[in-house]
Structure 1
């Protein structure tokens, strides 16, 4: 077992709890991604909700609602902001239960925002 698998195993359920409102676009031992029900007319791609993936040296959690609604980042702790790469990606190299709980709350808030936007089913 890779040292990154426990991180993936801890983060995946944070997204899985929203699978009924989304479309599962990737489901493998190293990647789990959810898409919205919104398909962009311009290019036919499904708008992403987010997901988690094992990379070479860390596990990435993508939370797309914070890209669309950057005001959601304001209440985040400095410790979680430190894990950010780009505008909607959080990287982890070890299990950190308090940060995972905060990230879970952010994912839940993002699902609520996307539901309010009509991007996710109720």
Structure 2
């Protein structure tokens, strides 16, 4: 899987992205990452690597469209979002990040007890 991902991702250039809107979900708080188009290319390459390595397409949760994001926190209990939204707001001050690699992780254990271990790193080496 790592070899396939490295081969496919090497053709893609690094991405300068911006952390923006704070996303609230009943089970998590995340930050949206823009622009979405180059991040979708990265995701598509990873899905192609999954198919190449396993012979099966990877499956994602739910029917909704994927939103590039960085998760900040998970919640284990139901609670009102109001105080959290009041404290954090809806938007971060603009902050750019560089995405120049993808880390492949092995995820073990059931949901909420995830145990992730890095397996390797695939660099984005293409030219902008």
Calculate the TM-score normalised by the size of structure 2: 0.28
Greater Rg over alpha carbons, structure? 2
Q: Structure 1 length as normaliser, TM-score?
A: 0.29
More helix by share: 1
Q: Which structure has the higher relative contact order (CA within 8 Å, separation 6+)? A: 2
